[in-house]
Chain A
Amino acid sequence: MERAVPLAVPLGQTEVFQALQRLHMTIFSQSVSPCGKFLAAGNNYGQIAIFSLASGLWVELGNSVLHFSLAHDGPVYSMVSTDRHLLSAGDGEVKAWLWAEMLKKGCKELWHRQPPYRTSLEVPEINALLLVPKENSLILAGGDCQLHTMDLETGTFTRVLRGHTDYIHCLALRERSPEVLSGGEDGAVRLWDLRTAKEVQTIEVYKHEECSRPHNGRWIGCLATDSDWMVCGGGPALTLWHLRSSTPTTVFPIRAPQKHVTFYQDLILSAGQGRCVNQWQLSGELKAQVPGSSPGLLSLSLNQQPAAPECKVLTAAGNSCRVDVFTNLGYRAFSLSF
């Protein structure tokens, strides 16, 4: 098959370096602004880019990237938005930015905090951030195998939840109770009650035969919960669990380990190693597989902000410098690029 050779542009040292950087970029996290019109994406070089979804949708690409700044020293593993702030976390600390300021160049972080770590030899990363709106607090979890709770008003760290034996990948909030679910490298999903600060339930996924896949490992890469139900995946297969009985009800037949999963209307969307965003019915059937532009996906983000219904899109990002935008879940509309 003939491969189209791109035009040779005289490349100086800086151009080559930038091209190489973009080739090896990984976008770990995304977050939608409270007004729904902007998307922030964080990559492995510590940069955060703000994309304008509105201009990307109605005008063909062009200058959809407003700007990006070097925010962190290490990769930006997770980001979450409150109604005024963007919180980003990576190598050991969480930083807060004002959304209104982010749209201008050269904005500085509002504050940054580091949870109290036990060891000082290596700074553990923060893999997951979770907002608990009822308490107005933020839960951080990552490399030190603990969940820290931080009060957003005062900035103090209130609780520490210990129980995981290996680092934590992902968090999910079960609103009714309120309970927090955390999945980690040790292969267990643990449920924590926030009021009592104790572990309520443990599900060791790899021990169940239906879903365990030893050749992939036992790590839990992604979690999502819908009060009674939970879907998790990673090393073991992507499985839907009934929480009260702690039994796996449906195993989704996909071989590649999934890195992000979320409930959407009556579907489950998942993405991981492999180009596609998978859409599953609750019964376990694959409804659609929509290919994206990155060879592997690490995060999905649904823009469901009520303030901008015209920007209601699904964005997916992963092992490349591009963020794919799906306006209709059936196909990829276009990509935004760093």
Chain B
Amino acid sequence: MSSESSKKRKPKVIRSDGAPAEGKRNRSDTEQAIEIEERRIQSCVHFMTLKKLNRLAHIRLKKGRDQTHEAKQKVDAYHLQLQNLLYEVMHLQKEITKCLEFKSKHEEIDLVSLEEFYKEAPPDISKAEVTMGDPHQQTLARLDWELEQRKRLAEKYRECLSNKEKILKEIEVKKEYLSSLQPRLNSIMQASLPVQEYLFMPFDQAHKQYETARHLPPPLYVLFVQATAYGQACDKTLSVAIEGSVDEAKALFKPPEDSQDDESDSDAEEEQTTKRRRPTLGVQLDDKRKEMLKRHPLSVMLDLKCKDDSVLHLTFYYLMNLNIMTVKAKVTTATELITPISAGDLLSPDSVLSCLYPGDHGKKTPNPANQYQFDKVGILTLSDYVLELGHPYLWVQKLGGLHFPKEQPQQTVIADHSLSASHMETTMKLLKTRVQSRLALHKQFASLEHGIVPVTSDCQYLFPAKVVSRLVKWVTVAHEDYMELHFTKDIVDAGLAGDTNLYYMALIERGTAKLQAAVVLNPGYSSIPPVFQLCLNWKGEKTNSNDDNIRAMEGEVNVCYKELCGPWPSHQLLTNQLQRLCVLLDVYLETESHDDSVEGPKEFPQEKMCLRLFRGPSRMKPFKYNHPQGFFSHR
């Protein structure tokens, strides 16, 4: 700094000195030359000092630089060390984490629990003293034990496999042996047939039946089993048989490969036929319907023999797609029956079993799911097909163990043995009573058509000895005609005249009086009484709407029918009712009060013994017959 300042000062001094020097030239050039020499020596000295200073400065600079350089190098070295260390640290951390994450395979193995291990492992493996303290050793020991166990089990497995092979081979051998036995047994059975016949033990026949029974669909099978059981246990007159083709039944269950073959064949065939002729839509629909209503090829036949040697033949069919059973009935009698005109419907196969239970008319399918199936193929109702397929009565479904509950529709209805068993006895009894009552009616109708009311001797006490009114006509009447009659309105309104009933018209006459009786015969006859409605034509037309006594007569026959039932099984009810009507007409005509203003004698003189002719506010006639005194009184 001082050198610089001296350097700066110097030029100034020189300049300032330069100007005044010019003024004093004359003084002496020697003075000037000495001054210049002095000045020159001064400037040289100054130059040397300058250089020295410069040199000093340079040396100082260099030192400074060296120091800095050293320090810098140190710092760099430390820096490098630091970085090395950090790098190492990182590396070590990575290693540590790797080590920590390391899952050795042994942890994947499910080892037995500690207590179990100590219990089961032999002491040379478990080494309790060492392993208790040291978890590493413990794990090793456990792994050892695991390995041993596995080896042992693998041994066992190999042994078992070889055993199995052996046994399979043995089975094969025995099977061959047995199959060779089968033809021998068959030949023995054949040989035993003549022995069976000789001893009247048709085991073979029963066996054959059971064989075919195996191919029956479940409901028919249930029916077959229950009916045979019932027949053996309770009712010797019942016989059960299976009809139909077993091969077709087997054909229904052919394995799928065969059907695939069939399909390919049929496809080829179809292609051919479509070239020739396309079946019409109607024919297609018809085929679909036929397919829907297809019957199982096997059917069960039940024969019920009644006391008088008449037989009721029932054939039960199973409709596969609809899952319902139907029945066809036929009645054969020991002797040939001459059917009177009015009895046409009594034993007809279509209606003989109608309404066995109240309301069971057998025209509608009992399975509610069928309705949807019908809609698909355009069938309105099953009743159109009932003639060929048979009737799907509810009791038939119950005998087959099929139950279609209305409240909870089930997915699939399975045949149930207990349902069938619980209904078997009542149904069989009802069937027998039905056949017998129909046959009795048959006979009675034959007699009625000839104008004779057949009263049996044990019912004779219900009527007086002399009955003058006679039955003149007995005919069947159609349901619509019955509904159109003017005096049957009450019965129709009360809902007692459905289309399952049979309707008849009887005409009873005495003198000029004609009594028409319209009869409703319920299919459940003799437990449900026939209902009569009367119309009397005598001095005007009298029916129950304008004459209280006609109403009373109807009441006598309709409401008080229990007295007329006769001995059980009350087949005489209808004829007794008709006879009573004749008696009532007699009483009515004879007790009619004589009109004083009209001339002439009474048409019907009173022959019946009556205590009183009129009684009560409605002036009833005495319609009740008292036996054995033989007089008429009021109820």
Interface residue ranges, A against B (CB under 8 Å): 3, 5-13, 15-17, 19-24, 26, 28, 74-75, 77, 121-122, 125, 127, 143, 167, 169-170, 185, 214-215, 217, 219, 221, 259, 273, 295-296, 298, 319
How many Å from the CB of A20 to the closest CB on chain B?
A: 5
Do the beta carbons of B491 and A23 come within 8 Å of each other? yes
* Known contacts A24-B558, A24-B559: A319-B551 contact under CB 8 Å: yes
Do the beta carbons of A214 and B545 come within 8 Å of each other? no
Do the beta carbons of A215 and B617 come within 8 Å of each other? no
Do the beta carbons of B551 and A24 come within 8 Å of each other? yes
Between A and B, 28 residue pairs with Cβ closer than 8 Å are: A3-B483, A8-B359, A10-B359, A10-B360, A11-B495, A11-B522, A11-B528, A12-B358, A13-B358, A13-B524, A13-B528, A16-B496, A24-B559, A28-B616, A28-B618, A77-B616, A122-B612, A143-B612, A143-B615, A167-B612, A167-B615, A214-B595, A219-B619, A221-B617, A273-B546, A295-B546, A298-B618, A319-B618
The residue on A at minimum CB distance from B633 is A122
* Known contacts A16-B529, A24-B558: A167-B597 contact under CB 8 Å: no
The residue on A at minimum CB distance from B492 is A3
B522 partner, pick from A16, A22, A24, A273, beta carbons under 8 A: A16
Which residues from A are CB-within-8-Å of B360? 10
B496 partner, pick from A3, A19, A122, A296, beta carbons under 8 A: A19
Please name 7 further chain A to chain B contacts, defined as beta carbons within 8 Å, in addition to the given A10-B359, A28-B617, A215-B595, sorted by A numbering. A6-B495, A20-B496, A24-B551, A26-B548, A121-B611, A127-B617, A214-B596
Interface residue ranges, B against A (CB under 8 Å): 357-360, 483, 489-496, 498-500, 522, 524, 527-529, 531, 544-546, 548, 551, 554-555, 558-559, 593, 595-598, 611-612, 614-619, 633, 635
How many Å from the CB of A72 to the closest CB on chain B?
A: 12
Do the beta carbons of B617 and A169 come within 8 Å of each other? yes
Q: Tell me, in angstroms, the Cα distance from A337 to B462 when the chains sit together.
A: 34
Do the beta carbons of A6 and B359 come within 8 Å of each other? no
How many Å from the CB of A88 to the closest CB on chain B?
A: 14
Which residues from A are CB-within-8-Å of B615? 125, 143, 167
Q: Tell me, in angstroms, the Cα distance from A218 to B614 when the chains sit together.
A: 13
Q: Tell me, in angstroms, the Cα distance from A20 to B616 when the chains sit together.
A: 22
How many Å from the CB of B522 to the closest CB on chain A?
A: 7
Q: Tell me, in angstroms, the Cα distance from A61 to B596 when the chains sit together.
A: 48
How many Å from the CB of A212 to the closest CB on chain B?
A: 9
Which residues from B are CB-within-8-Å of A127? 616-617
Q: Tell me, in angstroms, the Cα distance from A19 to B522 when the chains sit together.
A: 14
* Known contacts A5-B492, A215-B597: A298-B617 contact under CB 8 Å: yes
Q: Tell me, in angstroms, the Cα distance from A101 to B359 when the chains sit together.
A: 41
Do the beta carbons of A24 and B555 come within 8 Å of each other? yes
Q: Tell me, in angstroms, the Cα distance from A159 to B617 when the chains sit together.
A: 24
Do the beta carbons of B545 and A19 come within 8 Å of each other? no
Do the beta carbons of A8 and B635 come within 8 Å of each other? no
Which residues from B are CB-within-8-Å of A319? 548, 551, 618
Q: Tell me, in angstroms, the Cα distance from A118 to B611 when the chains sit together.
A: 15
Q: Tell me, in angstroms, the Cα distance from A260 to B495 when the chains sit together.
A: 32
Which residues from B are CB-within-8-Å of A26? 548, 551, 618
Which residues from B are CB-within-8-Å of A13? 358, 524, 527-528
How many Å from the CB of A40 to the closest CB on chain B?
A: 17
Q: Tell me, in angstroms, the Cα distance from A273 to B618 when the chains sit together.
A: 10
How many Å from the CB of A283 to the closest CB on chain B?
A: 29
Q: Tell me, in angstroms, the Cα distance from A3 to B494 when the chains sit together.
A: 13
Q: Tell me, in angstroms, the Cα distance from A10 to B635 when the chains sit together.
A: 31
Which residues from A are CB-within-8-Å of B492? 3, 5-6
Which residues from B are CB-within-8-Å of A170? 617
Do the beta carbons of A295 and B544 come within 8 Å of each other? yes
Which residues from A are CB-within-8-Å of B489? 3
Do the beta carbons of B554 and A11 come within 8 Å of each other? no
The residue on A at minimum CB distance from B494 is A19
Q: Tell me, in angstroms, the Cα distance from A143 to B358 when the chains sit together.
A: 44
B358 partner, pick from A3, A11, A167, beta carbons under 8 A: A11
How many Å from the CB of A53 to the closest CB on chain B?
A: 23
Q: Tell me, in angstroms, the Cα distance from A259 to B617 when the chains sit together.
A: 8
* Known contacts A24-B554, A273-B546, A295-B546: A6-B633 contact under CB 8 Å: no
How many Å from the CB of B595 to the closest CB on chain A?
A: 5
The residue on A at minimum CB distance from B360 is A10
Which residues from B are CB-within-8-Å of A16? 496, 522, 528-529, 531
How many Å from the CB of A29 to the closest CB on chain B?
A: 8
Q: Which 10 A-B pairs have the closest CB atoms?
A: A10-B359, A24-B555, A295-B545, A214-B597, A8-B498, A12-B358, A10-B358, A6-B495, A20-B558, A19-B494
The residue on A at minimum CB distance from B493 is A6
Which residues from B are CB-within-8-Å of A214? 595-597
Q: Tell me, in angstroms, the Cα distance from A38 to B618 when the chains sit together.
A: 25
Q: Tell me, in angstroms, the Cα distance from A125 to B598 when the chains sit together.
A: 32
Which residues from B are CB-within-8-Å of A21? 559
B494 partner, pick from A23, A77, A185, A296, beta carbons under 8 A: A23
How many Å from the CB of A191 to the closest CB on chain B?
A: 21
How many Å from the CB of A122 to the closest CB on chain B?
A: 5
How many Å from the CB of A208 to the closest CB on chain B?
A: 15
Which residues from B are CB-within-8-Å of A22? 494
